[in-house]
Chain A
Amino acid sequence: MKLSELCTILVGVGLLTVSLPAEAHHSFAMFDQTKTIEFKGVTVSQFQWSNPHVYLLAQKGNTVYTLECSSPSGMRGLGWKFNSVKPGDKVDLTFFPLRDGRPGGELRSIILGDGQTLKAW
């Protein structure tokens, strides 16, 4: 293959967008999607980059909230990386709470320390 051909292919690859399907592992019926809760300046205690879903633990006062995100595949498409968040980071969060009132929910978006906003779904 000539170098010019290779360059053409590489440019073409760069222009293609990768679209990913949404997550479908399970239902989200356990989350109350009519309520959105916002936390400001809470501390990340764990960021678990794994399947079937990524999850993030955030501490507010003496309570740890378990917040489910999309899958790694889905989140890569939203601009996340495996190391986007680290324990100890101070972040702002919005999430749909669990219907049963326990401390957890479906993370909707996060504002990182540098001001970057990422959607979790």
Chain B
Amino acid sequence: MRFRNITRMTAASAMLLGAISTIASAAATKPHSSTVAASTTVPIITGVWERDPSPFEEGGGGDTEDVPPPRPGPDLKEPYASRWKALRAKRQAALDAGKPLADSSTLCLPEGTPTIMQAIYPIQILQTPGQVTVLAELYMQTRRIYMDAPFPKPDDLEPTYYGFSSAHWEGDTLVVTTRGLKDSVQFFEVPHSDQMTVTERYHLTATDKLRADFTIDDPVYLKTPYRWTWRYKRNLTYRIPEYVCDHSLEKINADGTVSFEVK
């Protein structure tokens, strides 16, 4: 790295820290309020958040089960609905047979949007001028959400794991709209087109309680939008540790099943 780049980074870091402290000090003067006074009027959602209840308490998640998709599940058009049900049944049958099928987590791939918000492990949300950033413990994922940003033209919207996210405040609700997700980034293996839009609405229901309402719209694959709600609680003491997924004992076999490798 060149010295010039380090200088830039240092200046940027100083600006970022300054922005954070502005929000943090405002919050500190009014610790039990969901909003900050005067200069900033938006709720403070900066902090470390964990699901409440945990994703494992909402059904399934036993030792031989995967965490299930949020109810009621996707309302897919045919033939996609039948294909998706068959795929889920095949995965469960493989689990029951003791030969689980590989998935993106086998390769430690990023979860992408909106799965990162599932918060299997805690996530950290940072509000800085013009941006909301989500940092997940799992795989040390980074998701950037730009405030009031115009969407790129379709031809410039490169498909990515997290897509392009633009957000705005509607009163005390943060509304995030995301498009431009890769085909392979699928929420519980639900297929989607490049016309899919993910909308999230974040709202503090108490000082340290956050509610997020999700909607996936896709006129190509879905008959009706897929909607669900996740809730979170702020953890004031947890420090997110690093998570480098470099010691998996899993091996993907030619038939798509996963084996445990002994040393």
Residues of B within 8 A of A94 (CB): none
From A16, A30, A52, A66, residue with most partner B Cβ within 10 Å: A52
- Do residues B235 and A104 form an inter-chain contact, with CB atoms below 8 A? no
- Interface check B1, CB cutoff 8 A: no
Tell me whether A25 and B105 are in contact in the complex, defined as CB-CB below 8 angstroms, given that A50-B246, A50-B247, A51-B244 are known contacts: yes
Residue in contact with B237 in the complex, picked from A16, A29, A51, CB distance below 8 Å: A16
Is B114 an interface position by the 8 A CB rule?
no
- Report yes or no: B262 in contact with A13, Cβ–Cβ below 8 A: no
Q: Does B80 contact A (CB under 8 A)?
A: no
Interface: B38 (CB within 8 A): no
Smallest CB separation, B246 vs chain A (Å): 6
CB distance from A58 to the nearest CB of B (A): 11
Contact partners of A52 in chain B: CB under 8 A: 105, 108, 245, 247-248
Q: Are A66 and B54 in contact (CB under 8 A)?
A: no
* B contact residues around A50 at 8 Å (CB): 244, 246-247
Task: Please name all residues of chain A whose beta carbon is closer than 8 Å to the beta carbon of B97 when the two chains form the complex.
Answer: 29
Name B's interface SS: loop
Alpha-carbon gap, A19 to B121, bound state (A): 10
List residues of A whose CB falls within 8 A of some B CB: 13, 16, 18-22, 24-33, 46, 48, 50-53, 55, 57, 64-66, 68, 71-73, 98-99, 102-104
Q: Identify 22 residue pairs between A and B in the complex whose beta-carbon atoms are under 8 Å apart, listed by A's number.
A: A16-B237, A18-B235, A18-B237, A19-B54, A19-B235, A21-B55, A26-B106, A27-B95, A27-B258, A29-B95, A48-B247, A50-B246, A52-B108, A52-B247, A55-B247, A55-B249, A66-B263, A73-B121, A73-B243, A99-B98, A103-B262, A104-B260
Interface on B for A, CB 8 Å cutoff?
A: 50-51, 54-56, 61, 63-64, 66-67, 94-100, 105-106, 108, 119-122, 137, 235-238, 241, 243-250, 258-263
Given contacts A24-B66, A73-B241, A102-B262, 14 further A-B contacts (CB under 8 A): A21-B50, A21-B56, A21-B121, A24-B61, A24-B67, A24-B105, A28-B63, A29-B64, A29-B95, A30-B98, A31-B260, A48-B247, A57-B263, A98-B262
